[in-house]
Amino acid sequence: MISVRTYTPDDYPALLAVQRACFPPPFPESLLWSLAQVESHHRVFPDGAMCAVDDGAICGSSTALIVRFDPAHPQHTWAEVSGDGFITTHDPAGDTLYGIDIAVRPEARGRGVARALYQARYALVRRLGLKRFLAGSRISGYRAHSTAMSPEDYATAVAAGRLSDPVITPQLKSGLKPCGLVRGYLPDHDSCDCALLMAWEP
């Protein structure tokens, strides 16, 4: 039985292990959460620091902060929005819950763990009276198609169901909708540094 809760300092070692299991090379090791970043997530915005638990063991996690988002100016990088991963950019007076990561241990995938984490985020949007949940999402299946199509065309094909993407497809199935592509969002080999902005509104 999968459940979602906010995490505590006792959970930090398990959270760091989830990172190592979920983002193997060539994903840059410098982008895995450090202990200092996880501590900062819990300290700055504990409501957004969530983990999924299955049979008492942590099998996934996600981090979010509140920002003010202007749909007329959607372009930004992961480092800008996340305060280099420390969420020092958290703005309690903002209007958007912004997800800066989600990770599910490989052996727990395909069983609705990510969906449960997204549902918990949507519940938080409702509880805090925010306008939306937003995430800049890796398009991690893009590199294999990058000589044949632009990232925009790839994103359109995934959104239409003509292609499947390991990150975007689960998000679509969890109720998120694409709302713009960002080039140079994050150094990520698989995504050719691109991300698709994905939004959910109550």
Residue ranges in contact with ligand COA by CB under 6 A? 22, 101-104, 109-115, 137-138, 140, 164, 166-167, 169-170, 173-174
Minimum CB–partner distance for residue 147 and ligand COA (Å) = 22
> Is 64 or 72 the residue whose CB approaches ligand COA more closely?
64
Q: How far apart are CA 167 and CA 118, in angstroms?
A: 13
197, 178 Cβ separation under 8 angstroms = yes
**Closer Cβ to ligand COA, 71 or 166, answer by number:** 166
CB of 42 to ligand COA, least distance (A): 18
CA distance 117 to 55: 16
The CA-to-CA distance between both ends of the chain, in Å, stands at: 26
* Residue with smaller CB distance to ligand COA, 92 or 111: 111
Report the alpha-carbon angle 174-181-79, nearest 5: 90
Q: Which residues contact 175 (CB under 8 A, 6 or more apart)?
A: 118, 122, 200
Q: Which CB atom, from 11 or from 188, has the smaller least distance to ligand COA?
A: 188
Pick the closest to residue 152 from 133, 134, 175, 179 (CA basis): 179
* Residue given tokens 């080999």 in the structure block: 189
Q: Which is nearer to ligand COA, 56 or 129 (CB)?
A: 56
The least distance separating ligand COA from the CB of residue 119, rounded to whole angstroms, comes to 10
Hey, what are 169's tokens?
Answer: 């497809």
Q: Tell me the closest approach of the beta carbon of residue 149 to ligand COA, in angstroms.
A: 18
Select 29 or 72, whichever has its Cβ closest to ligand COA. Answer: 29
Rounded to the nearest whole angstrom, what is the least distance from the CB of residue 171 to ligand COA in the complex?
Answer: 8
Shortest Å distance, C-beta 129 to ligand COA: 26
Helix axes 35-44, 12-22, angle to 10 degrees: 120
Of 138, 116, 129, 131, the C-alpha closest to 197 is 138
Amino acid letter, 118: Y
